[in-house]
């Protein structure tokens, strides 16, 4: 595995592969790698000639009161893990390399962002689409691997790729979880012992809601109330619990089609997110709630 810090060098390498007809699989990350990231890399390794992983904590996607400075970092360990997984290139640009001067042209995420983290973290997805557009133009990926743990991010980036005919395929990868259901996240290290014990309740409440939907519940409010009641049992400081059509993030009067049920909960030092995507039409076919379909 080669470690590359220069944008020009990374771009030259990728250009050569692209021209030679080699497929490039790309996994953009902010580092502090865990098994969620590794799952993306494994997928990439299976499906591409060349695998590139980037580690870049993107200041543009953090708000002024967010955790950019304290975001966990351990590049040496990240490098080792990527190397063990058979990654070809570990791209590690500096902030100055990615943002050498103020942008001449700004990108703004317009749709799919008026919900969840898009609404709670102003400018967050503008930062995400900006950095990914830059990275895509450096790496020329055939496939980009992204985790459904950040389902809104996948939807927003799919929108970017569609809008601008970016010649890449976004490959969504299922959320990797701890044995007790907690979604793996770099931010889990912020949890104290007690919070760590309570945190599996997030996924548990989503699963309860999923069962409710699978048993025929179609009223979004009823489902949201169930999740909030479950979270109240651990006195969770709820940032949001919301439900939308996926991937459009349109508001639903009645649950139908593909839906995303998502939550964000604040702990003392961490804000954790999780979600579950349910295909209600599939549920209908399987359970045959015909009048609901």
- The region of 71-79, 112-120, 159-167, 170-178 touching ligand AMP under the rule CB under 6 A is 170-178
Q: Considering the complex, what minimum distance in angstroms separates the CB of residue 44 from ligand AMP?
A: 11
Q: Which conformational region is residue 76 in: left (phi greater than 0), alpha (psi within -120 to 50 degrees), or beta?
A: alpha
Angle at 13 between CA 7 and CA 19, to 5 degrees: 125
Q: Is 186 in the site for ligand AMP (CB under 6 A)?
A: yes
Is the CB of 115 or the CB of 284 nearer to ligand AMP?
115
| Closest listed residue to residue 27, CA positions, set 6, 47, 12 | 47
| Closest listed residue to residue 27, CA positions, set 44, 12, 10, 15 | 44
Which of 184, 190, 261, 270 is close enough to bind ligand AMP by CB under 6 A? Answer: 184
Active site residue 37: yes
Catalytic residue, candidates 34, 37, 124, 143: 37
| Closest listed residue to residue 58, CA positions, set 171, 153, 193, 191 | 153
Is the CB of 7 or the CB of 183 nearer to ligand AMP?
183
b/e sequence 258-271, b meaning 16+ C-beta within 10 Å:
ebbbbbbbebeebb
| CB 271 within 8 Å of CB 265 | yes
Q: Is 143 in the site for ligand AMP (CB under 6 A)?
A: no
Q: Is 135 in the site for ligand AMP (CB under 6 A)?
A: no
Q: Is 173 in the site for ligand AMP (CB under 6 A)?
A: yes
Is the CB of 36 or the CB of 220 nearer to ligand AMP?
36
Q: Is 127 in the site for ligand AMP (CB under 6 A)?
A: no
- The region of 32-40, 196-204, 208-216, 267-275 touching ligand AMP under the rule CB under 6 A is 32-40
> Rounded to whole angstroms, how far apart are CA atoms 192 and 268?
8
Which of 82, 132, 160, 176 is close enough to bind ligand AMP by CB under 6 A? Answer: 176
Which of 25, 93, 141, 147 is close enough to bind ligand AMP by CB under 6 A? Answer: 147
- The region of 28-36, 75-83, 93-101, 265-273 touching ligand AMP under the rule CB under 6 A is 28-36
Q: Is 183 in the site for ligand AMP (CB under 6 A)?
A: yes
Q: What are phi and psi of 169, to 5 degrees?
A: -110, 125
Q: Considering the complex, what minimum distance in angstroms separates the CB of residue 174 from ligand AMP?
A: 7
DSSP E strand boundaries for 78-121: 89-91
> Rounded to whole angstroms, how far apart are CA atoms 164 and 96?
26
- Residues designated catalytic: 37
């Amino acid at each position: 595995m080669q470690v590359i810090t220069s944008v020009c060098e990374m771009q030259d390498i990728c250009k050569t592969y692209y021209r030679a007809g080699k497929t490039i699989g790309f996994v953009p990350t902010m580092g502090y790698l865990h098994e969620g990231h590794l799952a993306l890399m494994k997928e990439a390794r299976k499906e591409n000639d060349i695998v590139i992983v980037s580690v870049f904590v993107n200041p543009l996607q953090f708000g002024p009161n967010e955790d950019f400075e304290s975001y966990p970092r351990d590049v040496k360990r990240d490098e080792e893990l990527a190397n063990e997984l058979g990654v070809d290139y570990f791209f590690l640009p500096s902030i100055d390399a990615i943002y050498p001067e103020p942008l001449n042209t700004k990108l703004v995420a317009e749709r799919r962002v008026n919900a969840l983290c898009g609404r709670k973290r102003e400018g967050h997805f503008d930062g995400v689409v900006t950095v990914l557009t830059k990275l895509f133009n450096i790496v020329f990926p055939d496939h980009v691997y992204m985790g459904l743990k950040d389902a809104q991010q996948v939807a927003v980036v799919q929108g970017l790729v569609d809008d601008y005919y970016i010649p890449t395929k976004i490959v969504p990868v299922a959320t990797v979880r701890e044995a007790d259901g907690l979604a793996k996240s770099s931010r889990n290290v912020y949890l104290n012992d007690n919070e760590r014990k309570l945190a599996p309740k997030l996924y548990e409440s989503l699963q309860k809601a999923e069962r409710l939907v699978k048993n025929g519940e179609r009223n979004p409010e009823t489902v949201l109330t169930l999740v909030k009641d479950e979270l109240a049992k651990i006195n969770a400081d709820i940032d949001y619990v919301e439900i939308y059509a996926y991937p459009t993030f349109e508001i639903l009067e009645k649950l139908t089609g593909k839906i995303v049920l998502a939550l964000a909960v604040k702990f003392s030092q961490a804000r954790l997110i999780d979600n579950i995507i349910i295909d209600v039409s599939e549920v209908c076919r399987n359970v045959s709630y015909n009048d609901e379909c």
